[in-house]
Each structure stands twice: as structure tokens, then as C-alpha cells.
Amino acid sequence: MSVLLDVRGLKTTFPVGAGQIKAVNDVSFTLGRGEVLGLVGESGSGKSVTGFSIMGLLEPPGRITGGQILFDGTDLTKLGQEEMRRLRGRRIAMIFQDPMMTLNPVLRIDTQMIEAVTAHRPVSKAEARALARDALGQVGIPSPEERLNAYPHQFSGGMRQRVAIAIALLNKPDLIVADEPTTALDVTIQAQILAEVQKLTAEQGTALIWITHDLSVVSRLADRIAVMYAGRIVEYGDVAEVIGKPHHHYTAGLIGSVPSRNRRGSRLAQIPGMTPSLLTLPDGCAFRTRCARADGDCAVMPELTGQGAHWHRCVHPNTQVLA
Amino acid sequence: MIGWFVRRLLQSVFVIVAMTVIVFVGVNVIGDPVAILIAPDADQAERLQVVQSLGLDRPLWEQYGRFLYGALQGDFGKSFVFGQPALQIILERMPATLELAFCAVFLAVVIGIPLGLYAGLRPRSILAKTVMAGSIFGFSLPSFWVGLLLIMVFGVQLGWLPSSGRGMTREFLGIHWSFLTLDGLTHLILPACNLALFKVSLVMRLVRAGVREVLPQEYVKFARAKGLTERRVIFVHVLKNIMIPVVTVIGLEFGSTIAFSVVTESIFAWPGMGKLIIDSINLLDRPMIVAYLILIVFLFVTINLVVDLLYTVLDPRVQHNGEG
Amino acid sequence: MNLSAPTADQPAAPVQRLAPVETPTQRVIREFSRSWLAMFGLVVLSLVVLAALAASLIAPQNPYDLMQLDILDSRLPPGSSAASGMTYWLGTDEQGRDMLSGILYGLRISLGVGVASAVTAALVGASLGLIAAYAGGRTETAIMRLVDLQLSFPSILVALMILAFLGKGVTNVVLALIIVEWAAYARTARGTALVERRKEYIEAAECLAIPRWRILFRHLLPNCLPPLIVIVTVQIARAIALEATLSFLGLGVPVTEPSLGMLIANGYQYMLSGKFWMSFYPGVALLITIVAINLVGDHLRDVLNPRSHS
């Protein structure tokens, strides 16, 4: 499988007053064509910022201060604004978290879909409209021709997310960055959307970065998982390996906090404390203030170590196999 | 939608009727019309005769009925000063006021919107900060004093622009307009700028606030994620969202511009209906005052109605399903 | 399950030490004093108010006392000397009145009219707004319809209408200003009262069976005050500007005791002949006053706005 995206040592910082917030700190991963990567972490872990860094859509004053984002061999961090714009929506598309907020409330659906096509391809409005209609049909929106003339407020949340997905798929991109696209939806809708995305990306051979805080979603969808904590990847590997044999105590804690059927009646595990502020990170392993296994060795930042397809950033890796 | 419109229309009619009552009571009950009309040395018989000829001995509701009946036919009586039907005199002066107000609103739009956009998109730039600070003055400066300064600088000191009257006018559609002649246009500049100053500040701040509010919205980010050009993001996605409140405010401001032209017209001796009403109040020309007030109330209610309709058309989210 | 699951005896993350408790008033003062522009406005405003209050003490001349005026000194440019030896720093008007003295006395009238109308309007409007919020039903509808009607017409028009009914004069101008202004207070008072009334602290107070009047005045009113205070400052500035405008149009205060607007109007006719000082300096005084109030009000709004601090 050829490599589509190769992120190497990505650093994204936000200047705050005199200091800097390192929202993304030395993040590396690769993604093959058609592969699905689950990017997992709590809010503030830097997972969304990683997504926006790839899209070149960081909110100023945030900016990439180091590393490379090689997309099909091109370093995206070196591209100019116009080159980046041509890539966005054409070869890399994005789906956002809250479908109620992502569609422009005063523009009709057809306007918002047609412009996504004509921004990149020299086609007529009629052709673009036909493409838009087909895309709506693809994501399972009934009577797409009529729905094209509707405004966003005339759709439900789940329907809007389908529209957003249809827009992302319009130009048959190589990569879709999905930033928690099901978090804001009802559980039943969530499952439908998941299945839909899975089917469509598989059909088109589109690679997917699925950003989420929900491990159970990722375990069903992803080929590989990257777990982020305080701006760094703390564990990375094949989905079965990471879920079944988490090496990092944070990952283990996340898995333990997922309610599951076969542990009924027992107390739900939780990770004590809260995500540290990126301004006041402890030296060394950022997780050590919350980690039961932490000791003096943890005061030095551990390197990402491991073998084959499973890497972790911990000096006292967990060896237990999870049920 | 139609139900909503009918309700809205009835509401407007009700406001106009209520205002005719207020104006009628205000002028006829609070003020004493007889005192104005009769010479102080008139005797009782003369007095009585005037009272009877004007129907002032009749019950109040009957007087109001007559007044309303006349008003519906455009009859507000003859001006004490001009000796002509009051409404006719006012309507003759109205184009001058409308021309001035329209120019002022036009200036506010063509200056205020671009400046507001710029200040919203580049809030840290020096120009944006200067313009924002300047807009505080636009709000604070009493418009009549600004008018005086404009006359002093451009009329007296520099002598570039005329500062009094309409200048040459040309007839178009049976009405005289200043903007059709070069001379008229030069006469229009100072008063229009004077009247526009406050509106420019207002529109600019409104647009800036709108841009600041819309820019961080997810749909703007999503539009960028679609790979749209920055031009399309700003001028379609951002601007379309801002224009709804802006159009509403500009529409409503057109009414207040007409009202505030009272001041500008007095300073620049612009022969519109604003100057006329001030003169009429000073001369206690009652029919003129009444006719002006009723006319302007009518104008305002109409403008409000049109703006409401426009808002409904512009914003797809507004739906009136029969309810108010 | 032997993950990093917590146990009860495990220490929680260290609790951050809380800053010393600060009263809301202290916070407002601290945040307000952080803006040098607003502080500048406050200092200028204080000076203006002081000058207006002490007009009779610091003015070189009593401008209302015709005995002190010398008609031979009329329309002198700034810096001229009088026959009596005093200097007219800002020139004289057509009656030979010292402009500086006229401005100081005029300031007193302008400020007085502005403050009196704004405060009265605040009392009337806020009471009506609170009544509307509490009474609800028809009372509320009636009051709010009146507010809507009032606010749909621009201030100058309403003022003109009232002066057309009542005639000119200071009392009528103040009355007109009150009628122009009350609606804004009523709407704000009702709006905030409705929002605050639904909040938990009022519910909590009601659960504690605290008397109704006490809830109203000790709990609700203080929380409705910030937006009202902001409006008072803004409305004082508006009232001063509107009074000046009305006086300029010849509908306001009498010529014998001119406000700033009247001074400007009096000098207006001499402007075209280059004698600018008669209109210009009263205008500057007016401008300084209004800008200072707006600077203070603008920043007060930021500081008092509950949304702007978290």
C-alpha cells in the first residue's frame, strides 16, 4: 500500500502573551491510500489542531513551527496559500464536528455544493448541480433534487451531517479529515453515519483521519490508532494491538472508562485528575501526575519506542492484556 | 406568510390612527388654537365667531372625526403663513429632503460597508484602529456643529464648496432635482456629508461587529475547507450573513435620516420639508405642523413595514406561519 | 481490571490556590482603571463637571448680568483686552459677553438639563420596565407596545413633536428629553429583570422564603443595575447633544440664559464672515463633554457586561 500522507515531527504552536502553547508537539504518523487512522484524545490533546494543521486552516496566531506534512510527496507546510486552497476540498476534504454550525444558514444547499465543485473544476453550473444531486443521493438523502433547493435549517442534524459528507466527497478527494463528525449526533444516527462513511470511503479508496475522543467508534472503523495526550502521540499502532494490549497507561485508562456490556455492575474505571493545561505541563511525561505507575524515571520525556506496528511513549509500559 | 402580512398591515394602520389621535390631542388640547388665531385685543363676540367657524365648540370626538375625515382626503387646512393647503406645500418640499436623505444613506453605504469590512477583517491594523476611534467622534459630534465646521472649512476658509441652498436644479419626472446638474451636485456635497457622518459610523461599526461575529463561525471555516477563494468566502459567505442586519438598519435609518435632515436643512438652508417644519413651529403655523407630523408618521410606518418585509425575504430562517 | 483505576485514598490533582475574594465593585474599578483611555475620559469629565459647578467662582464675568457687559466690546476675537483691562481669552459675542464665561455658565445649563432628564427618565423608565416584567399580562403588553411605538420614531422627531405641542422653553425641553429617553430604560429594565428572575439565585431566595420586597430590592435590582448604569451615561450624552440641537434650532432654552447649543446658534450668523470663535469654542466644549462621557460609558459597558468576563 503506497503512502499517501506522511506527517513528520509536526509542531504547531499558539503564542499566548509572552509564552507559547505547543498544541501539537512532535507528532508523526503515516497513512496509506484508503487507510483509516483514528486520532484519539481528550479535548485539548491537540488532535483537532493536528487536523487543522494538515488542512492549512489554523486560526491565527496559531502556526506550524516545525516538521513536515508530506502529502503524496509534497510538503504541505511549504505550499503557498493559493496552492493550498487548490488542494483543499479537491484532494483533502474535511468534515466538522457540529453539523448545525457547518452549513451557511443563509445560503441554499445547492449554492453551497455547486461552489465546492466550481472552485476546483472547470465545469458548468448545471454539471456541478448534477454532481451535487448525485452526491446527496449517495449519502442517502431522499429526493435529492428537491432537497438541493432547501436551506440548512430545513434539515435535521443527521441530515446536515450527511450533506456535509456529500460536500466532502464531491471532488473524490484522496483524504478526508473528519473532526468528531458524529459526536453531536444521536447514537442511532451516529451508527448510520459511521456505516455510510465507512462504505463510501471504501468504495472510493479515500483515506480517512477520524478524530474522536470515543474509542468505541474508532475500534469499529479504523485500521490504526494514534492516541494523543497533551500535544504528543503517546501510543500508535494497529487497532487490534492498541485496543487489546495497550502499552501506555493513558490508553489503558481510556479503554477502562468505556462502559461495556460484560462488566455490568462493576464500578466504571476513571482516570483521576484532569488534562493538564498546556501552559503548565510537568517535566517529562505529561501524564505522570495522573498515572498510578509514575516514578522518578518519568521526569524525563520518554521517547516513542516499540517494534513493528505498535509504538508507545512510556518507560513503564503496561503489559496486561485487556479483556 | 399572508396571514402575517395582513396582521402586520393592520398593526401599521393602528399605529397611524393612534398617532393621529396623539397629534390631534397634542395640538388641539394641550395647545390653545384660539389664542394663536385671534388678535389679543379681540372682543368676546369675535372670539366666539372664530370658535364657531372652526367648529371648536363641538365635542372633541366630533372635531377629531372631522379632522380625520379631512386628513384622509389630504386636507389639513391652509397654512396660516402661506395661505395654501398645508399638505401641498409640504409635498412640494419633500423631493429636496428625500434627495438629501437618499444621498446621505448612499454615502453611508459606500463608505461604511467597505470600512467596516476592512476593520473587521484586519482589526489590528492601524487603519482599522484609526477608523474605529474616528467613529466614536462620528457618534459623539452633534451633527449641527459638524455642519458648522464643514461650512467654516470648505465654505468660508477654503471656498471650495457652496454651503447654502440647492443650487441649479433640473426637472425630471416633473420634479426638480439637484443631483442632475453640476452646480446642484456641488451644493449637495456638504449637507449630504453632514447628514451621512453619523450613519457612516453606524454602518461601519455594525459591519465590523458582524464580521467579527461571523468570521469565527464553523461555516466560514467549512467554506475555506471546501477550497473556496478568500474572495468568495468573504463576499458571499460572510457578507450575506452580515447584510441581513445591515439592510434592516439602513432601511430604518433612512427614516431617521429624513427626521434628522431637520437639522442639516436648517444649517445649509436646504429648502426641504425639515426646514419648513422648524419655521412652522417657530411661527406656530398649526396646519403645517399637523400635516408634517401626520405625513412623517405615515412615512415611518411605511418604511418600517417595508423593512420588515425585506427582512423576511432576505433571511430564509424567518418563517411567519400565521403567527405574529 | 488492574488499570490505573483510581482508589479513594489516591490524592486528587493539586487544587489551585484561589485568588483573594474580590467584590464586584472592586473588580469593576480595577478593570475600569486598566484602560487609560477610559481613565482619561473620566478625568476630563470630572474637570468639566467641576468647571460647570464652579462656574460662578471661576468665570471672569457673570454673563447673565447685563450690567457687566459692554456693548462696545462685542464680537472681539480671542485674546482681545476689554476696556476694563480683563482679557477675553475666547473672544466675545455680539452682546460683548466674554465667551469663556458664557461657555462655563452654558456648560452648567447643558449638563444640568442632560443629567436631570436622564435621571428622571431612568427613574420613570426603569420603574415602568420592572412593573412590566412583574405584572405581566395586559400591563406588560400596554407598556411594551408604548415602548416599541416610542422607539420606532427617532429622538429628534419625538422631541420636535412635543415641543410643537408644548411650545419652547427649558422645562418643555427637559420634558421632551424625558419622553424621548424613558423607553430605552424601560426596555432594558424589563429585559434584564426577566432574565435575572429566572436565575437560580432568585429561585434559591424564594425557596428560603425571603420576603418578596427583599428579593426585589436586595437580590434582583442590584443585578439589573449594570446595564441601566451604562444606559444612563450614554443617555446623558445623548440628552446634552439633543438639547444643544433643539436650542440651536431655536426651540430650546431662552436667549437670556444660553446653553452651549444656544451660544453656537447665536454665533452661527457671524460664521460666514469669518468670526468663527462665537460658534467654535462652545462647540468644542460640547464636544469635549460628550466625548468624555462616551469614553467612560463605552468602557463601562465592557466592564459591566457579564459576557465580557468569565
Provide the residue range defining the domain that includes A150: 3-222
pLDDT tens track for B164-175: 777 667 777 767
DSSP string, A250-268: HHHHHHHHS--GGGTTSPP
More confident residue, C89 or B113: B113
- Restricting to A residues 166-205, those with a Cβ less than 8 Å away from any Cβ of C are none
Question: Which residues in C lie closer than 8 A to residue B152 (C-beta atoms)?
Answer: 271, 276, 280
Q: Say yes or no to pLDDT of C148 above 90.
A: no
Does residue A311 belong to any structural domain of this protein? no
Per CB-CB distance under 8 Å, the chain C contacts of A230 are none
Long-range Cβ contacts of B305-309 (<8 Å, 24+ apart): B305/B8, B305/B9, B305/B12, B306/B251, B307/B247, B307/B248, B307/B251, B307/B252, B308/B8, B309/B5
What is the dihedral sign for C-alpha B221, B222, B223, B225?
A: positive
CA distances from A108 to A168, B248, B316, C170, C173 (A): 17, 21, 9, 56, 52
Report CA torsion sign: B179, B183, B189, B194: negative
pTM to 2 decimals? 0.79
Task: Retrieve residue B154's grid coordinates.
Answer: 470648505
Which CATH code, of 1.10.10.10, 1.10.3720.10, 1.10.540.10, 1.10.8.50, is assigned to B90-314?
A: 1.10.3720.10
Evaluate if residue B217 carries a pLDDT over 80: yes
Q: Which chains touch C (3 or more CB pairs under 8 A)?
A: A, B
What's the rounded Cα separation, in Å, for the pair C205 and A213? 40
By Cβ distance, the residue of A81, A101, A151 closest to B218 is A101
Residue C2 touches chain A, beta carbons under 8 Å = yes
The three cell numbers of residue C286 are 460640547
Cell of B36: 394663536
By C-alpha distance, which of A228, A192, A190 is closest to A209?
A228
Q: What is the pLDDT of residue A210?
A: 92
| Chain A adjacent subunits, 3+ CB pairs under 8 A | B, C
Residues in a beta bridge with A312: A235, A305
Phi, psi (rounded to 5 degrees) for B192: -65, -45
- Residue ranges of the domains in chain B? 2-72, 90-314
**Would you say A173 and A92 are in contact if contact means Cβ atoms under 8 Å apart?**
yes
Per residue in B41-97, pLDDT (tens digit) is 667 777 777 777 766 677 777 778 887 888 888 777 777 777 788 888 888 888 888
Q: Determine the Cα–Cα distance for residues C225 and C218; give it in Å rounded to an integer.
A: 11
Q: What is the pLDDT of residues A198-245, one digit of tens each?
A: 888 888 889 999 998 888 888 888 889 999 988 888 889 888 888 888
CA distance A247 to A225: 13
Selection from C159, C244, C153 nearest residue B256 by Cα: C153
Judging contacts by C-beta atoms under 8 Å, the chain A residues touching residue C13 are: 272-274, 289-290
- Provide the ipTM: 0.86
Q: What's the average model confidence in pLDDT over A51-71?
A: 89
Residue A34 lies inside a defined structural domain of this protein: yes
Tell me whether strands A207-212 and A36-40 are parallel, antiparallel or unpaired: parallel
For residue B36, pLDDT over 70 is answered with no
- Contact by Cβ (8 Å): B264, B270: yes
Backbone φ/ψ region at B77: left (φ over 0), alpha (ψ -120 to 50), beta: left
How many domains is chain A built from?
Answer: 1
Is C245 in contact with B277 (Cβ distance < 8 A)?
no
User: Is A58 within a domain?
Assistant: yes
Q: By mean pLDDT, which of A47-56, A103-112, C31-40, C249-258 is the weakest?
A: C249-258
Is it the case that residue C161 has pLDDT exceeding 90?
no
Contacts of A323 in chain C (CB under 8 A): 1
Give me the percent of chain A exceeding a pLDDT of 90: 21
> What pairing do the DSSP bridges indicate for beta strands B175-177 and A224-229?
unpaired
CA–centroid distance for A174 within its chain: 15
How is domain C36-55+90-304 classified at the CATH fold level? MetI-like fold (1.10.3720)
Is it the case that residue C4 has pLDDT exceeding 50? no
As beta bridge partners, residue A12 has: A24, A64
Bridge partners of A238?
A: A224
Residue C295 to chain A, least CA–CA distance (Å):
26
- Give B 239-268 residues with CB within 8 A of chain C: 255-256, 259-260, 262-263, 266-267
Enumerate the β-bridge partners of residue A37.
Answer: A209, A224
Q: Residue A214: inside a domain, yes or no? A: yes
Q: Which residues of C are less than 8 Å from B281 in CB distance?
A: 160, 163-164, 251
Q: Which amino acid is at A83?
A: E
Contact (CB<8Å) B237/A104: yes
The whole-angstrom separation of Cα A134 and Cα C143 is 55
Phi-psi region of A44 (alpha: psi -120 to 50; beta: other; left: phi over 0): left
Helix (H) or strand (E) holding B244: helix B239-267
Q: What is the CATH number of the domain that holds A203?
A: 3.40.50.300
Does the pLDDT value for residue B201 go beyond 50? yes
Domain contains A106: yes
In the structure grid, which three cell numbers stand for residue A155, read together? 434539515
Q: Is residue A257 part of a domain?
A: no
List Cβ<8 Å contacts ≥24 apart for B4-11: B4/B312, B4/B320, B4/B321, B4/B322, B4/B323, B4/B324, B5/B309, B5/B320, B7/B324, B8/B305, B8/B308, B8/B324, B9/B305
**Alpha-carbon distances of A293 from A277, A284, A298, A302, rounded to whole Å:** 21, 14, 9, 14
